[in-house]
Structure 1
């Protein structure tokens, strides 16, 4: 029995893991940039038109769509499962605690409606969300990138999966690296994609413990700049956990590299931001871009990491479906 427990089972687990990775890699290779050239040639134009209209009216929607795409891909892969609404018999991902502050669902619905009019039942919600995140970043001055397409929509969305798979804002470097590694993303991908915090806002409840009761004795995180702590306390007086603050102060509506300067100054809003200083690879990347005067290198890296993230556990071919509406399975 000792042999069975200690040798055979680990080998079986390893085999299953290798098979799983190979299947996921094969599915990702099925994605192509020209996937809809014949079935929906106007797709890019339609998505950009709708997204631009919303982002021009509320620039903060760019961060919302980027975050939604991240939250989708890290839970069951980039399959649009975060878009599904809960049913009487199931609490979906979008109603899990980490996703309660997600917004922008109406944008995806508007894009899907426009796409359906032009190309009925041809384009998946997963692909629409991926394109929308790209176009939103581009609209506020960030990089653009070619998006490989051909994802299908998943039909499973469980709140618990979000709780298990989404890295929390209080994660340390070891936890973050493990979380990204589980999605076949590198340490570099981690620090590059964290740069997405250069746009957007956060609710005070996501970091209030860090400024009011870090170790349980009414103290603040000693790694935070004291002046920044005072600023955050003014913006987040208890018990107003629903107040919001900029993640990259004075630059939250522009996609740039100021986030890395903020982290170096010990003003990263989340513990997960500060954690980037505690790993050799991530620290070096943060320091390099904090000292940089241009965005080209970061933009190139960000585009590459976004394409890579967009391939996590995708469904292609006969797997999944193309939803008629993004909030419910067919």
Structure 2
């Protein structure tokens, strides 16, 4: 399902191009990094990503989630794309990443192949993932922004390094703030980037405790809208349900990138504990209210936050490498 982009979003692109300066970025990345070496890279990545997203509605949320999980572990260096080998269990095979659909990984591999055909050994997988994350937001009806480029691909991908670096579905706001502060993301960034849950789905095991075993005082989470709780229980029975069953983070428009995620939170219709907590905590509820009131404000804030996130733990210059295949290091001995 494709939704039109708001007309005024186009005028925001230039403004967001400056957002890295607003957040104190070092200027290590540039918007025209591939101006001479691969001038059409944005179009190449977009063409592949959008074609695959039209064919499979899992691709958009999978690619966006890949980007978050990549940046929060080793930095935005495409370490999550590395396949495991007999001598190394890679990041993608850590317990916290096992629920990723293969579709997301495949989309980045296909985009890399297209880029390699036009510009061999020039564009990093890390930059391709950053561009693809932007493109799937656009496909889903969200804003387009200029992606700073010049990242190098990391040389480390280990499952053992993932634990404790990704937010859990049961986290409260304090836990979320503490985690994201380690990568210099603010409490406002937390609320804005959580808006990525306006598209995508979660498996039953991520929210079933809210339905059946919430606490000694209440089997069902009292902060969960009763109508939604009943619907979730029908999809995810306590006994006999399928482990592959999923429900949308946004119960209203799970395929559309819009601000209904925040309006749902205000109505106690957040899917995960970590989602609903944003509307219940006095530190984050005002931001939720602001983004629920204005989709334009959400779009603008999301673009800024994504540019800021894209600077997390980056490798540039002589650091890292430009992989030939996003699934494997150029030097097979790297782990």
RMSD: 1.6
Equivalents in 2 of 1:77, 1:300: separation in Å? 23
The answer for the alignment partner of 1:262 in structure 2 is: 264
Higher helix residue share: 1
Q: 1:71-220 maps to which residues of 2 (within 5 A)?
A: 71-103=69-101, 104-215=104-215, 219-220=219-220
How far residue 59 of structure 1 moved from its aligned partner, in angstroms, is 2.9
Which of the residues 226, 246, 249 maps onto 1:247? 249
Unmatched 5+ residue regions in structure 1?
1-24
State the SS of the aligned residue for 1:136: helix
Equivalents in 2 of 1:320, 1:28: separation in Å? 18
State the SS of the aligned residue for 1:202: strand
Equivalents in 1 of 2:120, 2:200: separation in Å? 33
Question: Is the Cα–Cα contact under 8 Å of residues 27 and 314 in structure 1 kept in the other structure?
Answer: no
How far residue 167 of structure 1 moved from its aligned partner, in angstroms, is 0.7
Equivalents in 1 of 2:119, 2:218: separation in Å? 57
How far residue 134 of structure 1 moved from its aligned partner, in angstroms, is 0.2
State the SS of the aligned residue for 1:280: coil
Question: Is the Cα–Cα contact under 8 Å of residues 205 and 242 in structure 1 kept in the other structure?
Answer: no
Unmatched 5+ residue regions in structure 2?
1-22, 331-335
The answer for the alignment partner of 1:10 in structure 2 is: none
Equivalents in 2 of 1:27, 1:315: separation in Å? 14
How far residue 288 of structure 1 moved from its aligned partner, in angstroms, is 2.4
Question: Is the Cα–Cα contact under 8 Å of residues 27 and 315 in structure 1 kept in the other structure?
Answer: no
Which of the residues 287, 290, 299 maps onto 2:289? 287
Q: Deviations over 1:275-311 (max 9, x none)?
A: 1124334200112233x2x421110000000000010
Question: Is the Cα–Cα contact under 8 Å of residues 125 and 323 in structure 2 kept in the other structure?
Answer: yes
State the SS of the aligned residue for 2:164: helix
State the SS of the aligned residue for 2:247: strand
Equivalents in 2 of 1:247, 1:70: separation in Å? 16
- After superposing on structure 2, the runs of 4+ consecutive aligned residues of structure 1 that deviate more than 2 Å are 25-29, 215-218, 238-241, 277-281
The answer for the alignment partner of 2:11 in structure 1 is: none
How far residue 241 of structure 1 moved from its aligned partner, in angstroms, is 2.8
Q: Deviations over 1:52-100 (max 9, x none)?
A: 1011112332111110000000001000000001111221111111211
Which of the residues 269, 272, 276 maps onto 2:274? 272
How far residue 27 of structure 1 moved from its aligned partner, in angstroms, is 8.5
How far residue 216 of structure 1 moved from its aligned partner, in angstroms, is 6.1
Higher mean displacement: 309-318 or 227-236: 227-236
The answer for the alignment partner of 2:40 in structure 1 is: 42
Equivalents in 1 of 2:86, 2:208: separation in Å? 33
What's the TM-score once normalised by structure 2's chain length? 0.87
Equivalents in 2 of 1:82, 1:29: separation in Å? 25
Question: Is the Cα–Cα contact under 8 Å of residues 152 and 317 in structure 2 kept in the other structure?
Answer: yes
